[in-house]
Amino acid sequence: MICNHCTYAWQTRVASPKSCPRCKRRFDYQEAKIVLRRLSKQFGYRLTGDIDG
Ligand SMILES: [Zn+2]
């Protein structure tokens, strides 16, 4: 998972974490998906396969 507020990346055991463990901000999932996909290309972060679209 990558936080769309602070770009902190961490391993999560749940499909949709509700907040960032670093900055504690809550996520907007639609926006988070877009940012996550963008960051995944930038950082080579391996997605877990639960991102549709
Ligand atoms: Zn964060």
pLDDT at 50 over 70: no
Instruction: Tell me what the mean pLDDT of segment 30-44 comes to.
Output: 74
pLDDT at 32 over 60: yes
| Structure-block tokens of residue 24 | 């504690």
pLDDT at 6 over 90: yes
Other C-beta atoms lying within 10 Å of the C-beta of residue 22: 13
Q: 50 CA to middle of ligand 1, Å?
A: 20
Q: 27 CA to middle of ligand 1, Å?
A: 9
Nearest-angstrom CA–CA distance, 41 and 51: 14
Q: 53 CA to middle of ligand 1, Å?
A: 23
The structure's pTM equals 0.47
Q: 14 CA to middle of ligand 1, Å?
A: 16
pLDDT at 9 over 90: yes
Q: Dihedral sign for Cα 31, 37, 41, 43, please.
A: positive
Nearest to 36 by CA among 28, 24, 23, 14: 28
